[in-house]
Every structure is written in structure tokens, then in C-alpha cells.
């Protein structure tokens, strides 16, 4: 009976040692996971912050593009006005040349 109790005691001691070792390993793993969680949270925060900064840069680039586009539109309108004015001047020259041709024809008929 004493021998049986000693065997049970040894088995329980082995189980206790095994449980303590397992608990120690789980504590280490838990500590490691806590560190990883902290790192992931920091990384996530940094990524979100970077995303906000990226969005701000995109907005700034869009604003700059809009300003450039408005400048191009203004310059284009000016160029179009100049082209229309030049076309009107060319039309006037063409009309004058036609008139000169008519005057020449009339002068030749008149002689």
C-alpha cells in the first residue's frame, strides 16, 4: 500500500513538474505574443498615419493639378482669341485682295 502511495506521489510529482514546465513555456509564449501584439499595433498605427499623410499628398497634388489646369484653360482662351483675331485679319486681307482683283478687272474693262 505504501509502495502504491509512493508511486502515485511520484506520478503526481512528475505531472506537477510537467505542468510547471508547460506553464513556464506558456508564460514565455504569452510574453512573446504580447510583444508581437504591441509591435503590430505600432505598425498598424504607423500605416494609418502614413495613409492619412498619403491622402493629404494626393489632395495637395489634385489641388496643384487643378490650378495648372485652370492656368492652361485661361491661356488657351487667350490663344483662341488671338487665333480668331488673326483669322479675322486674314479674312480682311483676303477680302482686300479680292477687292483689288475686282478693281483691276474693272480698270482693265474701263480702258
DSSP, residue by residue, 67-109: HHHHHHHHHHHHHHHHHHHHHHHHHHHHHHHHHHHHHHHHHHH
3-state DSSP call for residue 1? coil
In this prediction the pTM is 0.45
> Residue 108's pLDDT is what?
66
C-alpha distances out from residue 21 to 16, 25, 29, 73, 86, Å? 9, 6, 12, 76, 95
> Residue 47's pLDDT is what?
83
Give the percent of the chain with pLDDT over 70.
92
**What is the DSSP-derived secondary structure letter of residue 41?**
H
**What is the DSSP-derived secondary structure letter of residue 26?**
H
CA–CA separation, 48 and 45 (whole Å): 5
Domain positions in the chain are 1-77
For 56-101, write each residue's pLDDT tens digit.
888 999 999 999 999 999 999 989 999 999 999 999 998 888 888 6
> Residue 106's pLDDT is what?
67
> Residue 84's pLDDT is what?
92
Indicate the pLDDT class of residue 105, thresholds 50, 70 and 90.
low
Amino acid at each position: 500500500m505504501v509502495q502504491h502511495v509512493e508511486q502515485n506521489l511520484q506520478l503526481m510529482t512528475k505531472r506537477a513538474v510537467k505542468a510547471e514546465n508547460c506553464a513556464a513555456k506558456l508564460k514565455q509564449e504569452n510574453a512573446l505574443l504580447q510583444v508581437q501584439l504591441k509591435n503590430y499595433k505600432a505598425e498598424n498605427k504607423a500605416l494609418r498615419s502614413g495613409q492619412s499623410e498619403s491622402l493629404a499628398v494626393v489632395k495637395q497634388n489634385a489641388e496643384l493639378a487643378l490650378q495648372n489646369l485652370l492656368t492652361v484653360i485661361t491661356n488657351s482662351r487667350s490663344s483662341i482669341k488671338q487665333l480668331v483675331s488673326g483669322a479675322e485679319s486674314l479674312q480682311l486681307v483676303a477680302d482686300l485682295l479680292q477687292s483689288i482683283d475686282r478693281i483691276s478687272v474693272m480698270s482693265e474693262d474701263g480702258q
